[in-house]
Structure 1
């Protein structure tokens, strides 16, 4: 997260204590990646319990946004506020769609930083009406 969007994390941490968590087996953490969103949500709430944080504002970005929704659903007692960023919408016939090849390209590796155009491309469907509403 700090590689993909350090500005977001730095702004967030200016006015509140911020805890960045890499789920088990992801990033620099050790272990086996949980195979369900429920298990990933449990890992987060277990971590909050271990560091004595009974309630938190939860910011989830991308996959983290899906995990944050599971936390809010399964562990509402730990959620003060829920913030979803870079979250994809559903996939029903009336839902907005993401470009089919949106997963291709730079994904925040230190030597391949995403551009604003790339971020708009992966987060906003490539139609004129969607692009006119999209901004970063």
Structure 2
């Protein structure tokens, strides 16, 4: 039986004396580059949606990955987004890959932007989900500062942080919660040290590279880019997605209704159609 999100083994690759955890499975003979996943704040490989990863793996290989010092990976967590991006580039090369497509969600979308800017030869196409550019204004709901850092997030925390406010959105959130807990041998939770390092990285990322031209750096991203968000993102204001699509030369934007930060988890079938069309065209 071929591997799936629930069965793909956790593997390790050593880079600079640290062991980076990853899982890799899918359609090796597709002729498409592997799809490399970069996860949100505190998130590891088991915070992705199996419907999303297995749906994408039908048409290409997918690679899930834990950052340095996150979950199953060893090492001291990075405190700058550009350093996290450079780690990802080293892991991609260590895996013997010369080109990947990249999907980055939230903090992972920030990493994906810097990975693409700093190592453009590695990236063919880019998917940015629920994220922001350097110099953006996240304008979060103040409640997130109590909810997001909790040591053990509850389902109610996830519903508030990732999903829309309607009953239909909450039902979709509960369905996602069940799917993401199906795997038996899950990653260990991320450490308090990782959380603090990622908070520092996020705070440093909010500042613009050029105060007079806040989004000029986005013009360096020449790869085809698909930006997806929910209409009411309480973590990173949805307007940041508009800033990205206005300034990345070959970008398009899709905003899902009645959805929040994790729009791709609320509408997994719709997301798969959009993502597969984008990656295949």
TM range (shorter): 0.7 to 0.9
Please tell me whether the aligned partners of residues 61 and 86 of structure 1 are also in contact (alpha carbons under 8 angstroms). Answer: yes
Give the 3 Å change call, closer, same or farther, for CA 4–49 of structure 1 in structure 2.
closer
Residue aligning to 1:45? 89
Counterparts of 2:52 and 2:105 in 1: how far apart (Å)? 10
Please tell me whether the aligned partners of residues 58 and 68 of structure 1 are also in contact (alpha carbons under 8 angstroms). Answer: yes
Between 1:6-15 and 1:46-55, the stretch displaced more is 6-15
Residue aligning to 1:21? 65
1:101 aligns with 2:138: no
> How many equivalent pairs are there?
126
Please tell me whether the aligned partners of residues 66 and 73 of structure 2 are also in contact (alpha carbons under 8 angstroms). Answer: yes
Runs of 4+ in 1 over 3 A off after TM superposition: 103-107, 109-113
In the TM superposition, what is the alpha-carbon distance from 1:102 to its structure 2 partner? 2.6
Which of 144, 150, 162 matches 1:119?
162
Counterparts of 2:52 and 2:146 in 1: how far apart (Å)? 23
Counterparts of 1:100 and 1:46 in 2: how far apart (Å)? 36
Calculate the TM-score normalised by the size of structure 2.
0.39
In the TM superposition, what is the alpha-carbon distance from 1:66 to its structure 2 partner? 0.6
**Secondary structure of residue in 1 paired with 2:64:** coil
- Unaligned residue ranges in structure 2 (runs of 5+): 1-44, 165-229, 239-255, 260-265, 267-281
In the TM superposition, what is the alpha-carbon distance from 1:79 to its structure 2 partner? 0.6
Calculate the TM-score normalised by the size of structure 1.
0.75
Please tell me whether the aligned partners of residues 130 and 233 of structure 2 are also in contact (alpha carbons under 8 angstroms). Answer: no
Counterparts of 1:110 and 1:57 in 2: how far apart (Å)? 32
Structure number with higher relative contact order (C-alpha < 8 Å, ≥ 6 residues apart): 2
CA RMSD across the alignment: 3.0
Give the 3 Å change call, closer, same or farther, for CA 63–106 of structure 1 in structure 2.
closer
- Unaligned residue ranges in structure 1 (runs of 5+): none
**Secondary structure of residue in 2 paired with 1:20:** strand
Please tell me whether the aligned partners of residues 97 and 125 of structure 1 are also in contact (alpha carbons under 8 angstroms). Answer: no
